[in-house]
Amino acid sequence: MTTIKLHNTRTRTKEDFVPIDPDNVRMYVCGPTVYDRAHLGNARPVVVFDVLYRLLRYAYGPDHVTYVRNFTDVDDKINATALARKRAGAEGSLEQLVQERSNETIGWYLHDMGALGAMEPNAMPRATEYIAQMIAMIEDLIAKGHAYAAVGHVLFAVDSWKNHYGALSGRSVDDMIAGARVEVAPYKKNPMDFVLWKPSTDELPGWDSPWGRGRPGWHIECSAMADDLLWKQPLAVGALSEQALQHPHVIDIHGGGNDLMFPHHENEIAQSCCANEQDVFANYWLHNEMLQVEGKKMSKSLGNFFTVHDLLEQGVPGEIIRFVFLQTHYRKPMDWTEKKAREAEATLRKWRALTADIEPAVTAAPAVVDALADDLNTAGAIAELHRFAAGGDAAGLLAGARLLGLLTDELAGWAETGAIDLSSYADRLADARAVAMQSKDFSEVDRLKAAYVAAGLEVRMSKDGIELVPVAGFDAAKLGCV
């Protein structure tokens, strides 16, 4: 078996991945807050951890990997949308309208991530389904002296975990107080103490608790859901092995974007370790870097903010988005550009043509597997796929690409351009160029090139000939006017 190496944020080193139990590899990834459509940056961790999920399934077997990714459906923005709909005359209680909005956005999310070729995790819990587990964990933290109730709130006492808090992000509590924006409130014993439970007004969704009607803080939900789904439930049915039982409440991998490292993941670790009286919550922590657009941070003010749905509606296939993502290592900032999208489309069209009606090799080539096993070196794996394509090894190309979630049947169809043969159009341009080389009048060459581009063709001219490559928005009907 190929040894998988992963860069562990917790230790800041690349380590051999050794699961607690090879028959039950467990991974938790922080999912979205479902108040609106997922923007392009939201999709990057989905694709990154989908590749890791595929690699783990390849290495340990599909039945031996459990992947959990949550939905945060307790949020002020969800409530605000529901309130606006109620005031506009929508039928149903506020709670029903909140659930309606959550259902709507979760449906959008799953559709858009599916369009990128992401497999659905084994479990996708909603925060609202785990309120009882959160309350129980909060009660336990209070009983153990790690949390306290104040004015309808319950807060985690960072001082009770001060010697450990900040280890993941590498910052001391004092540094975090000096450099972070923390909520200053009279009921806090320490500025860094964070909310586990907060009160709800009568008009907002809430749940009964020992501290009054309220709702959970953001951080507690992941601790409760990860522990319940990856430890307590398997334990209840006897699915945990002796190896796992020797590491109570510990999971193999926890992942998410690096923007979650502090405070969210620091707070998860503090809650989980204190509740379960242990020093480790997850053995391996993985964080992906952020996404830019044309070299700049994605921002509505810059006009470069868009959702996955926006791109799909513009005719950019999900497979192209996925391919662009995978060309950059997950721990490096990724820059989305139109040029990269065009190049990705041209490559994928060639690969799909090469592998049409071909059965994949029985297994992915060792070179592809080795690249992915080296801390998800997707760029290296894609370089190997280019070598297979150049050598005409369609079966090897297909097997390796599918390990990356590319060239799958689910993502097929977009590259089909019908039965049109573009060779006559290429020959026409070649003839025009030959004439122009003699007459020095390139007006006809320029006219044909402009017409082909307007029809959605990329025109590639070299000394070896002319190649016409369909790109996003290709419309064969427009060629009839050329």
Binding-site entries: 30, 222, 264, 268, 300
Annotated binding-site residue numbers for ATP: 300
Annotated binding-site residue numbers for Zn(2+): 30, 222, 264, 268
Three-class secondary structure assignment of the chain: CCCCEEEECCCCEEEECCCCCCCCEEEEECCCECCCCCEHHHHHHHHHHHHHHHHHHHHHCHHHEEEEECEECCCHHHHHHHHHHHHCCCCCCHHHHHHHHHHHHHHHHHHHHHHCCCCCCCECCEHHHHHHHHHHHHHHHHHCCCEEEECCEEEECHHHHCCCCCCCCCCCHHHHHHHCCCCCCCCCCCCCCEEEEEECCCCCCCECCCCCCEEECHHHHHHHHHHHHHHHHHHHCCCCCHHHHCCCCCEEEEEEEHHHHHHHHHHHHHHHHHHHCCCCCEEEEEEECCEEECCEECCHHHCCCCEHHHHHHCCCCHHHHHHHHHCCCCCCCEEECHHHHHHHHHHHHHHHHHHCCCCCCCCCCHHHHHHHHECCCHHHHHHHHHHHHHCCCHHHHHHHHHHCCCCCCCCCCCCCCCCCCCHHHHHHHHHHHHHHHHHCCCHHHHHHHHHHHHCCEEEEEECCEEEEEECCCCCHHHHHHC
